[in-house]
Amino acid sequence: MRASDFLLEDDEPSDQYANIVTVLDLVQEKVRSGELSDGLPTQFIIRLIQNTGVSSFSYDDLIAANEDNESMKNIVKNITPTKISFVKDIGQSVANAQDVTAASANPEQTVSDMAKSAMKRRQS
């Protein structure tokens, strides 16, 4: 079974980013659980992404996507031509720990902020 069986194919860049992030998130969870070792070969990850329907995906595309997409930065720790390291600890992916503490201290404000953000995205 391929990842493309579960993902919709579309030519929009945001959908391609969604496919890439989905693959990387799945692999990150496998690394965290110990099913896969960290430091996977870059070509392995590129082939997984290509299997989602992004057939011309390359190392340069992976680097560009990592620079453009904030979600990838929370999943991928380091990318080299030979291997990719993933963020293993959930706490590592948090850029500002104070924001997380503030969000957990005031959940009503967090929900309100999320709703406002969703409405802004919907209106644009």
17: burial class by Cβ within 10 Å (0-12, 13-18, 19+)? middle
In whole angstroms, give the CA distance from residue 62 to residue 80.
10
Spans of the chain, pLDDT less than 70: 1-14, 90-105, 124
Report pLDDT for 46: 92
Q: How far is CA 46 from the centre of its chain?
A: 14
Report pLDDT for 66: 87
In whole angstroms, give the CA distance from residue 14 to residue 71.
12
Phi and psi at 45, nearest 5°, equal: -65, -40
pTM: 0.60
Name the residue ranges covered by the structural domains of the chain: 3-93, 94-124
pLDDT, tens only, 15-34: 778 888 889 999 999 998 88
Report pLDDT for 102: 56
Report pLDDT for 12: 53
Instruction: Fill in the DSSP letter of residue 34.
Output: T
